[in-house]
């Protein structure tokens, strides 16, 4: 049996330094070593490696390593469960449900892999998969609309399956399986809000109260970090905001709350409870979770409650300040982070007319592009995403013609699909790889994206990409984001992106629009022409604006057709038209 200790150590070191490319290289070597090993991969180092990948939310690498382990003959239930976890978080729900169904059966009493703890975990993850299937189908519809109600009814079976899976495990051991209980609460409350309440559902408030009573009977320091998250959620269910903030204050800053844990809590609050920063309690809870998640994913965020003479229960959002240290750049205020969230409002998910996402785009003010677009708000994306050129449409990745494209704006809480009216300008993938579109609907861009005046500085400045990686939820790429090369009209940077990010806006540290993201590779040719670099690449926004202005200025200068000289009454020349 091969030794894997060195590679697990490397993964741990690289993950701790937020060096995703280094982690990926170690995972590649780990997979190759498993493929060369005649024996099944050893359990202990694999569990550690998969745990590290999960904590950093490197789900694609997690799936790659876990799948290779299973293919090597390793049937440990925890490794199979971690494979399913990665599949869920990458959106491969059907594959995860099939795997978890088999795992729940094999780990049940009397099964070939009988294991009570893993059986409970597998059942809980089944609930997670069914819950995700429900929210993915229903959430794009605006709350309170007939379309939302119809979509909820059509997908009710998945929510019912989630409630059953979570509640069955909670009932096995109410003191031990608290996270299953709180998920039961969340799903039942969601069913009620969506008009799907049933007499057969468990009593959500009673379960939430029981969970909170159990946790409050212990000293907060004795409560595991994941149970503190359950306490926050129980308080939300019971409309007890001060207590929720008490528990949040001892949950979110705790180093034991890793990126996976915080992201799971944030996802639950936003997707299932549907909290928003604009209302209570989202305005108090979400900024704290977002800030602490930023810290775990490569920045540094410190929550600093203001001194208080009263009890901890008097904490509120107004009394909490947060500052972020992004790598070695500088401290920035919470308002900086909120500005980033506002930038999300104008980022679009580009879809086919059948709803399949394949790219991103963003709104720009017509006044920033050319006077002929004054007063308009237009959409910018890549030419390899949207193009009417048959040659570009036949390329890889495939571009779609503008009349087959729809766009949605998750950052606006707007479920409407907007059609494209016309393609105004484009530059092919081999040049600026940009397309400017006019939408059928008139949209606002408030506040507008301010355009960066200067190019970023190599090895000094950082950039932030906002888009829809893998066609999934709107995301901000915050880690490993140093600018590595600049050569007008292109910028290369290490901000991690995935397919579906094409057409995303790229911002500098002042949230000014600096580039249109268009490509990424582990072997991207350096802009200076010597060697390759693992990087992503964007087109400088000023180069795009200059090209648009050049075209429309030229159109404005085009001379009018010459007028035919009128015949005069003094002309004596014969009419020769008949003789020609």
pLDDT in tens, 450-509: 899 889 988 888 899 998 876 677 778 766 688 999 998 999 998 555 665 899 999 998
**Nearest CA-CA partner of 326 in 203, 194, 460, 423:** 460
Contact 367, 375 (CB under 8 A): yes
pLDDT of residue 50: 95
Identify the residue whose tokens are 């991207």: 524
pLDDT of residue 336: 80
The DSSP code for 271 is: I
pLDDT of residue 384: 94
Taking residue 450's Cβ as centre, other Cβ atoms within 10 Å add up to 13
Rg (CA), the chain: 28
Encode 138-162: b = buried (16+ Cβ within 10 Å), e = exposed. Answer: bbbbeeeeeebbebbeebbebbbbb
CA atoms within 13 A on the CB side of 428: 8
CA atoms within 13 A on the CB side of 386: 33
pLDDT of residue 47: 94
* CA–CA dist 535, 192 (Å, integer): 46
Contact 235, 270 (CB under 8 A): no
pLDDT of residue 65: 96
* CA–CA dist 537, 520 (Å, integer): 6
Please give the sequence-ordered ranges of beta strands (E in DSSP) within 260-387, or none if there are none.
299-305, 320-326, 331-333, 347-352, 357-365, 377-381
pLDDT of residue 565: 44
3-state secondary structure 297-316: CCEEEEEEECCCCCCHHHCC
Tell me the sheet residues that pair with 467: 475
* CA–CA dist 410, 142 (Å, integer): 10
pLDDT of residue 320: 30
Please give the sequence-ordered ranges of beta strands (E in DSSP) within 132-218, or none if there are none.
none
Tell me the sheet residues that pair with 425: 436
* CA–CA dist 436, 442 (Å, integer): 15
Contact 538, 518 (CB under 8 A): yes
Hey, what are 102's tokens?
């088999």
CA dist 393 → 349, 383, 428 (Å) = 19, 9, 11
Domain residue extents for the chain:
203-297, 323-557
pLDDT of residue 480: 63
Contact 172, 120 (CB under 8 A): yes
Tell me the sheet residues that pair with 381: 435
Share of the chain above pLDDT 70, in %: 86
Contact 439, 407 (CB under 8 A): yes
pLDDT of residue 105: 96
* CA–CA dist 535, 546 (Å, integer): 25
Hey, what are 420's tokens?
């494209």
Hey, what are 78's tokens?
């925890």
The size of the chain, in residues, is 580
Per-position DSSP letters for 493-545, written without gaps between them: E-----TT-TT-EEE-TTS-EEEEEEEEEEEEEPTTSSSEEEEEEEEEHHHHH
Identify the residue whose tokens are 């549907």: 274
Contact 264, 242 (CB under 8 A): no
CATH architecture of structural domain 323-557: Beta Barrel (2.40)
Encode 100-128: b = buried (16+ Cβ within 10 Å), e = exposed. Answer: beebbebbbeeeeeebeebbbbbbbbbbb
How many helices (H) and strands (E) the chain has is answered by 18, 16
pLDDT of residue 318: 29
The segments of the chain whose pLDDT lies below 70 read 1, 297-334, 413-415, 446-447, 470-471, 478-480, 495-500, 558-580
CA dist 501 → 65, 91, 403 (Å) = 24, 16, 21
């Amino acid at each position: 049996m091969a030794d894997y200790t060195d590679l697990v150590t490397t993964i741990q070191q690289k993950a701790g330094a937020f060096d995703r490319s280094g982690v990926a290289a170690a995972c590649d070597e780990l997979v190759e070593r498993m493929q060369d090993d005649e024996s099944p991969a050893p359990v202990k180092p694999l569990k550690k490696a998969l745990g590290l990948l999960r904590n950093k939310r490197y789900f694609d690498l997690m799936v790659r390593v876990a799948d290779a382990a299973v293919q090597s003959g390793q049937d440990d239930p925890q490794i199979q469960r971690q494979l399913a976890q990665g599949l869920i978080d990458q959106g491969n729900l059907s594959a995860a449900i099939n795997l978890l169904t088999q795992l729940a059966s094999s780990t049940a009493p009397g099964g070939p892999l009988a294991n009570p703890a893993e059986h409970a975990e597998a059942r809980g993850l089944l609930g997670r998969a069914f819950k995700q299937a429900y929210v993915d189908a229903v959430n794009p519809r605006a709350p309170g609309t007939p379309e939302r109600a119809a979509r909820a009814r059509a997908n009710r079976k998945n929510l019912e399956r989630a409630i059953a899976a979570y509640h069955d495990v909670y009932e096995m051991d109410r003191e031990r399986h608290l996270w299953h209980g709180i998920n039961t609460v969340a799903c039942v409350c969601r069913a009620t809000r969506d008009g799907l309440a049933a007499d057969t559902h468990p009593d959500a408030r009673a379960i939430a109260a029981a969970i909170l009573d159990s946790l409050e009977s212990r000293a907060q320091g004795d409560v595991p970090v994941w149970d503190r998250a359950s306490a926050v959620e129980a308080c939300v269910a019971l409309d007890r905001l001060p207590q929720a903030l008490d528990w949040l204050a001892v949950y979110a800053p705790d180093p034991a709350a890793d990126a996976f844990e915080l992201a799971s809590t944030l996802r639950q609050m936003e997707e299932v409870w549907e909290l928003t920063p604009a209302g209570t309690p989202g305005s108090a809870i979400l900024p704290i979770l977002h800030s602490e998640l930023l810290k775990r994913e490569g920045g540094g965020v410190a929550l600093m409650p203001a001194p208080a003479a009263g009890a901890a229960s008097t904490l509120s959002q107004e009394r909490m300040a947060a500052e972020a240290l992004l790598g070695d750049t500088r401290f920035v205020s919470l308002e900086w982070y909120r500005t980033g969230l506002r930038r999300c409002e104008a980022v679009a998910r580009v879809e086919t007319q059948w709803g399949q996402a394949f790219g991103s785009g963003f709104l720009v003010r017509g006044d920033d592009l050319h006077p002929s677009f004054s007063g308009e708000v237009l959409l910018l994306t890549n030419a390899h995403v949207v193009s009417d050129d048959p040659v570009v449409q036949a390329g890889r990745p495939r571009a779609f013609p503008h009349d087959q494209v729809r766009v949605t704006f998750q950052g606006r809480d707007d479920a409407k699909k907007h059609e494209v009216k016309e393609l105004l300008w484009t530059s092919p993938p081999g040049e600026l790889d940009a397309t400017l579109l006019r939408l059928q609907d008139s949209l606002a861009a408030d506040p507008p994206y301010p355009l960066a005046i200067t190019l970023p500085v190599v090895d000094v400045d950082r950039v932030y990409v906002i888009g829809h990686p893998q066609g999934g939820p709107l995301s901000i790429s915050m880690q490993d984001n140093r600018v590595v090369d600049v050569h007008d009209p292109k910028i290369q940077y290490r901000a991690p992106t995935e397919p579906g990010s094409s057409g995303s806006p790229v911002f500098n540290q002042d949230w000014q629009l600096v580039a249109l993201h268009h490509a990424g590779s582990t072997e991207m040719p350096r802009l200076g022409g010597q060697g390759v670099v693992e990087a992503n690449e964007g087109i400088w926004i000023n180069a795009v604006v200059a090209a648009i202005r050049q075209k429309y200025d030229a159109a404005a200068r085009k001379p009018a057709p010459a007028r035919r000289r009128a015949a005069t009454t003094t002309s004596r020349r014969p009419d020769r038209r008949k003789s020609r």
